[in-house]
Amino acid sequence: MAKMILTGNESAAWGARLSKPKVVAAYPITPQTSIIEKIAEFIANGEMDARYIRVESEHSAMAACIAAENTGVRTFTATSAHGLTLMHEMLIWASGARLPIVMSVVNRAMAPPWSVWTDQLDSVAQRDTGWMQIYSENNQEVLDSIIMAYRVGEKHNILLPTMIMEDAFILSHTAEAVDVPEQKLVDDFVGEFEPAFKLDPQDPGGFGSLIMPEGPYMEFRYKMALAMDEARKEIRKVTEEFAEVFGRKYPGLVEEYRTEDADAIMVVMGTIASTAKDVIDALREKGKKVGLARIRYFRPFPYEELREIVKKADMLGIVDRSYTFGYGAALYTETKGALYGHTDKPIKNYVVGLGGRDITPDVLVKIFDNMLKIAKDGVVDREIEWVGLHGDERWS
């Protein structure tokens, strides 16, 4: 194992390299570009034995991955923001075709207003595409999650694609020390791609056929729903197996941090969780009992874990770095939906950090203080609150 100083994007490229996809098809977009530049460099240097397909759009990138994966080879791609949303149609095709493609996504705000900075709306808006979704906290997790995503997705009882998110710039362009595992270990862990089916001239077959309303369209969808449910168990199992081989223990679908005996627990995805851990340590020293539940997998959604977590505190504060216009942000509504009938504790939605607005410890301390007050009073002051708007004295 070699420790290297890598950015999140370099970590993603290393995760792809170690997993040995045979085809990479991608289109550049800030802040994803350095992922595919690095992969192109690996291929050009002969360090990666893959075919790199240059395409004219992200829609085509995903189409190329779908076609390649259908021939029975492992594929990889990466994108961000407008590139991801342009892929939307093909994302649904990939999962319905049951192709375990793995993709890196750099979470960037959607325009307008134009912004290249972090915001999770781009991937949250792909919630319903049938892809598994992992939100990373640091560069090590970016690399490791790609390796685990292939292992989970390619199981024949799963056969679903996975996207691995990293917050724009905060991970994508930030260099940290990363353990790059030995190729042999990854080879053994991920294994050769064994497709459950493939395009084969010796055994011809068509894919994506029409199914009439009375045909098994619903049954195919139900099989996919079962696979996504099954993935929960596989994810928990594979993170255990990963720990045995690589010595790094990931907590399945949700990471809990100091949730025992907490009065208030923050639920969040991505890098905010990392800063929040420092804040929690500082607040705990002052006797404020706060904890954290970091959602690693937004899909499949960890409803079972959340039903246990809510028992440990007097309230949950759901922090979203995106907004779903109409009612609350996605992590909030999902959490509330999962907890309906399981708790009557107060739950509040905090909308933060859109368009890359920096989330400092000061902001998090204010949110935790507000959460503790709600935990004490048992009353939610505002169900959905946007934090840190210009001029708002509650947060300045």
Partner 1 sequence: MAIILPDEPTPIAKVPSTENKTGGWRTFRPIINYEKCIRCYICWKFCPEPAIEFDSPDAHPVAKPQLAKFDSVKINYDYCKGCGICANECPVNAIEMILEEKLEED
Partner 2 sequence: MIEIRFHGRGGQGSVIASKILAKAFFMEGKYVSAFPYFGVERRGAPVTAFTRVDERPIRAKYQIYEPDYVIVLDPSLLKAVDVLKGLKKDGWVLINTIKTPEEIKKELNHDKIATVDATSIAIKHHLGSQAAPIVNTAILGAFSKVSGLVKIETVMNAIRESAPAKQEENALAAKDAYDATIMGGE
44 near partner 2 (CB under 8 A): no
Q: Could you tell me how many residues of this chain bind partner 1 (CB under 8 A)?
A: 9
Identified binder of partner 2 from the candidate list 186, 265, 272, 374, rule CB under 8 A = 272
Backbone angles phi, psi at 164, to 5 degrees: -115, 120
Least distance in Å: CB of 33 to partner 2? 13
Site string for partner 2, 133-172 (x = CB under 8 A): ----------------------------------xxxxx-
391 binds partner 1 (CB under 8 A): yes
Nearer to partner 1, 112 or 326 (CB): 112
Shortest CB 171 distance to partner 2, Å: 8
Spatial contact of 102 and 162, defined as CB atoms under 8 Å apart:
yes
Distance, CA of 345 to CA of 308 (rounded, Å)? 13
Q: Which of the choices partner 2, partner 1, none does residue 278 contact, using the CB cut-off of 5 to 8 A by kind? A: partner 2
**How far apart are the C-alpha atoms of 241 and 232, rounded to whole Å?**
14
Pick one of partner 2, partner 1, none as the site partner of residue 390 (Cβ within 5 to 8 A by kind).
Answer: partner 1
From residue 344 to residue 373, what is the string marking binding to partner 2 with x (rule CB under 8 A)?
------------x-xxxx------------
113 binds, among partner 1, partner 2, none (CB under 5 to 8 A by kind): partner 1
DSSP structural state of residue 241: H
C-beta of 99: minimal distance to partner 2 in Å? 33
Nearest approach in angstroms of CB 393 to partner 1 is 5
> Which of partner 2, partner 1, none binds 389 (CB below 5-8 Å, type-dependent)?
partner 1
Binding segment for partner 1 (CB under 8 A), chosen from 23-31, 76-84, 270-278, 387-395, is 387-395
Q: Which residues pair with 23 in a beta bridge?
A: 51, 75
Q: Binding mask 104-133 vs partner 1 (x if CB under 8 A, - otherwise)?
A: --------xxx-------------------
176 interface partner picked from partner 2, partner 1, none, CB below 5 to 8 A per type: partner 2
Half-sphere exposure of 314 (CA within 13 A, CB side): 15
Comparing C-alpha atoms, which of 18, 51, 296 is closest to residue 180?
18
Residue pair 162/325 in contact (Cβ under 8 Å)? The answer is no
Look up residue 51 and give its two tokens: 């075919």
Is there binding between residue 184 and partner 1 (CB under 8 A)? Answer: no
Interaction between residue 393 and partner 1 (CB under 8 A): yes
Residue 112 binding result from partner 2, partner 1, none, given CB thresholds of 5 to 8 Å by partner type: partner 1
d(CA 377, CA 361): 24
| Residues 6 or more apart in contact with residue 221 via CB below 8 angstroms | none
Alpha-carbon distances, residue 282 vs 277, 288, 362, 381, 394 (angstroms)? 9, 9, 12, 25, 22
Residue 71 as a binder of partner 1 (CB under 8 A): the answer is: no
**Does 117 help bind partner 2 (rule: CB under 8 A)?**
yes
The H-or-E segment that residue 187 falls in is helix 183-190
**Angle, helix 139-153 to helix 183-190, in steps of 10 degrees:** 30
Nearer to partner 2 by Cβ, of 5 and 226: the residue is 5
Which residue lies nearer to partner 2 by CB, 70 or 271? 271
Report helix, strand or coil for 380: coil
Considering only 173, 236, 336, 366, the residue that binds partner 2 (CB under 8 A) is 173
267: tokens are: 């639920």
β partners of residue 7: 175
Q: Cα angle at 63 between 197 and 158, to 5 degrees?
A: 40
Which residue, 75 or 118, has its beta carbon nearer to partner 2?
A: 118
Kind and range of the H or E run holding 325 = none
298 CB-near residues (< 8 Å, 6+ apart): 123, 124, 127, 133, 135, 269, 330, 331, 334
The footprint of partner 2 (CB under 8 A) covers 3, 5, 30, 116-117, 167-171, 173-177, 271-272, 274-275, 277-278, 356, 358-361
The footprint of partner 1 (CB under 8 A) covers 112-114, 389-393, 396
